[in-house]
């Protein structure tokens, strides 16, 4: 079920505090309107009682869609934790959940994302029946072949499921700093299908490259650049 809680927050524009109700977890199978609010960037959006400024509050949230077997935990880096701390806390939480389950019960698969756009992207990706690791492998290939044009420090690559076709997958570049969407890149479905068949034959390489819980080609490239 969905869960909300009252928080006292300050308006980032004028600094006036107010009590607002924000969602910590949403179940879109029982409340589909919450999914629509998320997609329209209206979920956990607040209007200041003093200056009327509209702003979104990014906070840890669990997205649940039992009908489509989707369970995603969004933990923004703006929550005051680094990516490594977020992943460590996430892994610890999963261990605690697994320890509480009976031996004959399999723990649900929970995915982790760090931004809202990645949450929306992953929802559409799963609903479209695409493999997340294979898609990130495609992104990795696009990045490494176009590093001068698509610097992972400056740009995020997002799969645009809605504009993809039967022949091509559509990826859009997002400026990390401004959040603006820019150039579109296309990748053949046949090439994706070949990679997916390779994944089915031998998935070890994909799991080794993207072990999780945060499966991201961009994060992998950023980590590699830090180690270089």
Strand partners for 173: 157
Report residue 106's pLDDT band, with 50, 70 and 90 as the boundaries.
Answer: confident
11 part of a folded domain: no
18 part of a folded domain: no
192 part of a folded domain: yes
The per-type count for the chain, helices as H runs and strands as E runs, is 7, 10
Q: What pLDDT does 204 receive?
A: 94
How far is the CA of 49 from the CAs of 10, 15, 23, 41, 42, in angstroms? 10, 11, 19, 20, 17
Express each pLDDT in 141-193 by its tens digit. Answer: 999 999 999 999 999 999 999 999 999 999 999 999 999 999 999 999 999 99
157 part of a folded domain: yes
Using alpha carbons only, how large is the chain's radius of gyration in Å?
19
Q: What is the pTM for the complete model shown?
A: 0.91
Report residue 4's pLDDT band, with 50, 70 and 90 as the boundaries.
Answer: very high
Tokens of 55: 């702003």
159 part of a folded domain: yes
Split into its structural domains, the chain has a count of 1
Q: Which domain holds residue 86?
A: 58-227
Half-sphere exposure of 34 (CA within 13 A, CB side): 20
With residues binned 3-state (H G I as helix, E B as strand, rest as coil), the percentages for the chain, rounded to 5, are: 40, 25, 35
51 part of a folded domain: no
Could you please report the per-residue DSSP string of 126-140? HHTT--HHHHHHHHH
211 part of a folded domain: yes
165 part of a folded domain: yes
| Mean pLDDT of the 90-112 span | 79
């Amino acid at each position: 079920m969905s869960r909300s809680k009252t928080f006292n927050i300050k308006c980032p524009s004028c600094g006036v505090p107010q009590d607002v109700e924000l969602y910590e977890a949403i179940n879109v199978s029982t409340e589909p309107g919450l999914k629509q609010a998320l997609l329209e960037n209206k979920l956990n959006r607040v209007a200041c009682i003093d200056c009327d400024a509209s702003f979104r509050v990014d906070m840890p949230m669990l997205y649940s869609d039992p009908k489509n077997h989707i369970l995603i935990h969004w933990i923004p880096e703006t929550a005051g934790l680094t990516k490594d701390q977020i992943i460590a806390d996430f892994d610890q939480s999963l261990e605690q959940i697994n320890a509480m389950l009976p031996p004959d019960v399999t723990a649900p698969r929970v995915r982790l994302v760090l931004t809202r756009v990645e949450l929306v992207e992953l929802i559409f990706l799963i609903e479209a029946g695409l493999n997340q690791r294979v898609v990130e492998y495609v992104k990795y290939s696009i990045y490494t072949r176009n590093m001068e044009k698509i610097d992972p420090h400056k740009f995020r690559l997002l799969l645009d499921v809605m504009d993809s076709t039967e022949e091509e997958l559509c990826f859009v570049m997002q400026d990390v700093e401004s959040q603006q969407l820019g150039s579109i890149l296309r990748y053949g479905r046949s090439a994706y299908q070949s990679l997916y068949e390779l994944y089915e034959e031998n998935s070890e390489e994909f799991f080794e490259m993207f072990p999780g819980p945060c499966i991201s080609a961009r994060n992998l490239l950023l980590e590699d650049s830090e180690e270089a």
